[in-house]
Structure 1
Amino acid sequence: MKTIFNQLTLKTKLISLICAAFIFSVVVEYVYTIHMIKKEFYHLSSQRFKDIAELVSTNHNLINQVSNPTSDNLKAIQYYTEQVRQLALVDFVVIFNMQGVQYSHLDKSKTGQQFVGGNEQKALQATSYLSTARGALSDSITASSPIYNDNKQQIGIVLVGQTRHKMNYLALKSSQPVWSLLVSFTLAVIFVCLLSRHIKMLLCGLKPNQIDQLFEEHNAIIRAVKEGIVVINRNGLISQINDEAIRILHMDKSKENIIGKPISTLIPNARLNEVMNKGIAEYNCEQNINGMVILTNRIPLFVKNKLVGAIASFRDITEIRQLSNKLTSINRDADALRSQSHEFNNKLHVIYGLAYQDNKQELVNYLEEIIGNKQPELDEISQYIKDPIITGFLNSKLSQIKELGVSLTFNINGMLAPISNHLVIHHLITILGNLIDNSLDAVHSLADKKIELNFTVQNGYFYIEIIDNGIGISEKDVQHIFQKGYSTKGDNRGMGLYLVLSCVDELGGNIQLFNLSKKKGTCFKISLPLAVLYREAS
């Protein structure tokens, strides 16, 4: 039954429920009303019967006729009582003497017969009364009044009454007609149809089970998203927040204790109220909240072109940088592999040609030249830089530099021990990779391309110096070169040096930029404290 009810449309459910409630309330009200009307009708009718009986019993002509019950007087009594019955709209008016002999009756054939009813005894005792009795006309409500002559002697009785069947009929007739209930029911059904249509429009035509499913899907999406989400309403109160937002912002309250609270008290510098008031979205903004640096998007929330609130989505910028560094490392490794592939393919063709010509001496000389070409540099890197990831990265960069025909000067002073913190390694690769790539870009159009790499480990610091003989950087660009999105190389650039500066700041270091005065070119100098580089990962 429950399954069938859930499958019904919203319109059908509303009509069924309201009709059931309407019918139940109408039936209860109708039964109660009929009961009260019958009770009141019986009371009023009984009093009316009593008044009619007393009025008839005091009629002077009737008293004389009952005192002298001749044939003509009996006919007069019958005629008089019939007139009273019709005018008073009662079922019977009966008159009988002290012996119970009837002088009048609705059924004329019963005139002169003994009264049947059993309620005449009280009237014979000279009292007026009301009673319910079973007579010739079935159950009835009767009122009786004694008849006295001029000497104050009781000479008969007047009975006035109506059958219960007739009284019930009159009571029902005086109650609310059935057609009015049908009209009310029809109007209720029409109202429900209009109401359900309006509700369906508000719910975008969705059924209740579809709304429930959509709500569950919405909650599942909010929980599954790996971004923090905070939503406020028009009053600046938090209406939605997911578990990831609570985790990122290190909030020590449960979701139930956060919903409905002003965002200005829980997250003072969230800027959602400002975005909502201006109606202008803000994307990819760095923000420090509760000591946590996040990258956030803040968007005003509109429903049917009406501003109803604002929503913020954000991630821990450290996590984003880790992903960015991983992607950068992968891309650089891929570039290095492509460079090595091109280089080795060319050399394999030469080796194949010398072997095919059976020119053994030239082949030996060529192989010695290849092996000896990189060996000093590789030996120097592996001798002084003991971290295998950084060593491998530098080897790949040397291959790339050689393939591009760049003259490289490489110097290392001091030994860099292995680094256990992978985040530090990613930061170092980001710094070295972006600065080397910038140097390669700076010299790519020159005939005589030169790059110098100098690494020094001393006095508790790791110094990095990268020099190129490119065209240098203008004074105007030097002021903005580390800003996010700023680039002299075209659109969709300007992230490299921004990431370098961010990584240097994360490692507690310092970066300096110099334009070479005596000769063209650029020099980047970086100092990084070894205490930070060898700090254990938290």
Structure 2
Amino acid sequence: MKRIDSYVILLILINAAIVTSVIVQIHPLIDVHSYSLLLLSINFLVIIFSFLILWFLRIRGQELRKEVEIENLQNYVEKTKMLIDALNVQAHEHKRNLQTLKAMIALREIEEAEEYLNEITENQKTTDMYLYVEDPALNVTLNTQKKLAKNKNINFNFGFKDDISTWNIRSWDVNAIVGNLLNNSFEAVMNRKKTKRYVGLEFLKDEESDSKIIRIINSGPKLSDSQKSKIFEQGYSTKGSGRGYGLHIVKEIVDKYHGEIKITSNEFKTVFELVLPLCEEETSDDKKII
């Protein structure tokens, strides 16, 4: 919104400069009464024109937000499909392994069955397993991001240091925050060597203020002070046009809950810490983390 507000101010100033120039040119050519009427008419037109500019930019901002929300929803559907496919593969493998073990036991190949079972157990330690989180939307996001991280050779870990079922925050809002910040962090670390790509996610609580905290750490490049001050502005991105809306959505959600975003960055890691105080303004109709 800061960028849109800047455009509004700039256009109004340009409009005012044009009007001033016109007035200066015609002032010597007309009488005082006509000049007063003309000035009143011009002021009226300036006001109308300014409101039209503001209305247009506000509508455009809403359209951009809707486009991003639709894109996020499409990503959520795609992630759900990916997760279902992964679960189907796991289910198929489990069924095949059980059939193999059943056949070995039927043939009294007990030692071979035991060895095969040990191999399966060992293999499960290194393969992707479905991680269950109580919130369905967050469940899909974390599992698909875990799979995506593996495909990109990113060491991705997350942990819950607080019971998020008690968080008075809408499920979709938490999912939007986590999804957008993880996407940003995954992109940030891709320029690092494969062995130095790390992204961490934590859900925790500030014991003193009882605020809820979402912390995301990545091993991407250091953010400058200028980047930290602009990174959540609508449309701002270092990756080209058509980007820079995901983090702006994160900022809007945090503002809605009267929270704050803290960013620390050095040559080794960048930390985004979202502090969300207990919110009493959410209505009972809103879906909370369950």
User: Shorter-chain-normalised TM-score: which range?
Assistant: 0.5 to 0.7
Give the % identical residues.
22
Distance verdict in 2 for CA 1:439–1:417, change over 3 Å: same
Q: CA deviation at 1:521?
A: 2.4
Counterpart selection for 2:273 from 503, 508, 525: 525
Structure 2 match to 1:476: 226
Greater gyration radius: 1
Q: Which has the higher strand share?
A: 1
Matches of 1:447 and 1:362, distance apart in 2: 34
Counterpart selection for 1:427 from 166, 173, 186: 173
Matches of 2:187 and 2:137, distance apart in 1: 24
Distance verdict in 2 for CA 1:323–1:284, change over 3 Å: same
SS at match of 2:164: coil
Q: CA deviation at 1:387?
A: 3.3
Q: Structure 1, residues 21-52: CA drift from partner, whole Å, max 9, x if none?
A: xxxxxxxxxxxxxxxxxxxxxxxxxxxxxxxx
Contact 2:87 2:130 in 1 (8 A): no
Matches of 2:131 and 2:94, distance apart in 1: 23
Structure 2 match to 1:296: 59
Q: Which has the higher helix share?
A: 2
Counterpart selection for 1:274 from 37, 50, 56: 50
Task: State how 1:180-259 maps to structure 2 within 5 Å.
Answer: none
Q: CA deviation at 1:461?
A: 1.3
Counterpart selection for 1:378 from 109, 125, 131: 131
Matches of 2:139 and 2:203, distance apart in 1: 13
Structure 2 match to 1:447: 194
Contact 2:203 2:215 in 1 (8 A): yes
Unaligned runs of 5+ in 1: 1-267, 286-294, 298-313
Q: CA deviation at 1:377?
A: 8.5
Q: CA deviation at 1:339?
A: 6.7
Distance verdict in 2 for CA 1:430–1:470, change over 3 Å: same
Q: CA deviation at 1:329?
A: 3.6
SS at match of 1:296: helix
In the alignment, is residue 337 of structure 1 matched against residue 76 of structure 2? no
Distance verdict in 2 for CA 1:475–1:457, change over 3 Å: closer
Structure 2 match to 1:210: none
Unaligned runs of 5+ in 2: 1-43, 105-111
Distance verdict in 2 for CA 1:376–1:447, change over 3 Å: closer
Task: State how 1:112-123 maps to structure 2 within 5 Å.
Answer: none
Task: State how 1:30-429 maps to structure 2 within 5 Å.
Answer: 272-274=48-50, 285=57, 295-296=58-59, 317=62, 324-325=68-69, 327-335=71-79, 337-338=81-82, 341=85, 364-369=117-122, 371-372=124-125, 378=131, 382=133, 386-417=134-165, 424-429=170-175
In the alignment, is residue 436 of structure 1 matched against residue 182 of structure 2? yes
User: How many aligned positions are there?
Assistant: 227
Q: CA deviation at 1:499?
A: 1.0
Letter in 2 for 1:477: Q
Q: Structure 1, residues 332-359: CA drift from partner, whole Å, max 9, x if none?
A: 3413633774797699799979x7xx98
Q: CA deviation at 1:506?
A: 1.1
Matches of 1:346 and 1:435, distance apart in 2: 28
Q: CA deviation at 1:470?
A: 1.3
Distance verdict in 2 for CA 1:361–1:325, change over 3 Å: farther
Contact 1:465 1:525 in 2 (8 A): yes
Matches of 2:90 and 2:152, distance apart in 1: 14
Q: CA deviation at 1:402?
A: 3.0
Matches of 1:327 and 1:420, distance apart in 2: 26
Distance verdict in 2 for CA 1:419–1:478, change over 3 Å: closer
Q: CA deviation at 1:466?
A: 0.4
Matches of 1:475 and 1:374, distance apart in 2: 40
TM-score by length of 1: 0.35
Matches of 2:249 and 2:117, distance apart in 1: 46
Matches of 2:47 and 2:135, distance apart in 1: 43
Q: CA deviation at 1:474?
A: 2.8
Q: CA deviation at 1:391?
A: 3.3
Q: CA deviation at 1:425?
A: 2.0
| RMSD, aligned α-carbons | 4.2
SS at match of 1:530: coil
Between 461-470 and 366-375, report the one with greater CA deviation.
366-375
Letter in 2 for 1:402: K
Distance verdict in 2 for CA 1:444–1:375, change over 3 Å: closer
Matches of 1:283 and 1:360, distance apart in 2: 72
Contact 1:409 1:452 in 2 (8 A): yes
Distance verdict in 2 for CA 1:474–1:535, change over 3 Å: same
Q: Structure 1, residues 347-381: CA drift from partner, whole Å, max 9, x if none?
A: 9799979x7xx9866753454345445799936xx
